[in-house]
Amino acid sequence: MSLISLDFLRQGSIRWGMNDRLQSSDGHRLTSTQIGAIGESVVAVGLTLTSKGRLAPFKPFADDDGIDLLIYDKETKRALPIQIKSRTKFDNDKAQTVQFDVQRSTFTDEGGSYLLAVLLDGADVVCSWLIPMRKLQAEARAGKSKLTIVPSAKPTSNDRYTSYRRHSFEDVAKDLIRALSS
């Protein structure tokens, strides 16, 4: 996998996000599969950089069980499974809410796994929510085939997901290191 340098990202050359509706003038648009792959890559790079290499994300050969990345801690020699959900726009602009769905067929609350939901603006993370899977069923709206969360990215919001909201990869990395160290 090739990585784009951070200076390139800062120049805005690939900032094609929420305001652009992810559609080009020739009608092309990113698919949900592409958005998911981009989110996983952004998370892997962000966690590696902010942990100064302590956290090493690995992609499973197949993610049949909803594990998008295994986060390996080089210091403790332990790993955590992470399911990543990525979105690129608000579902409600005024409330700044975004819906993330976890399929029941891939949901498991065993093994210390986490859900990391990220709201992307191009290759930048606007906001993220790190939720232990053991707490997801209690926090999510339960449907027949999926668990749904609808958090707000608004800094002043105080919804049920506020305590899980993270504004930087540093915060996510610290939480994961804390979980891996306990």
Q: Encode pLDDT of 35-76 as tens digits.
A: 999 999 999 999 999 999 999 999 988 877 788 999 999 999
Q: Encode pLDDT of 81-139 as tens digits.
A: 999 999 999 999 999 999 999 988 777 777 789 999 999 998 889 999 999 999 998 99
Three-state secondary structure call for residue 164: helix
Q: Which residues of 7-42 are buried (b: 16+ CB within 10 A; e: fewer)?
A: eebeeeeeebbbeeebeeeeeeeeeeeebbbbbbbb
Least confident of 24-33, 59-68, 153-162: 24-33
pTM (two decimals): 0.84
Cβ neighbours of residue 2 closer than 8 Å, sequence gap 6 or more: none
CATH topology of domain 6-181: Trna Endonuclease; Chain: A, domain 1 (3.40.1350)
- Closest Cα partner for 136 from 164, 166, 158, 168? 164
Q: At 102, which amino acid appears?
A: V
For the beta carbon of residue 180, count every other beta carbon within 10 angstroms: 19
Say what the pLDDT of residue 24 is: 52
Residue in this structure with the two tokens 């067929």, named with its chain if needed: 105
Please state, in angstroms and rounded to a whole number, the distance separating the CA atoms of residues 138 and 134: 8
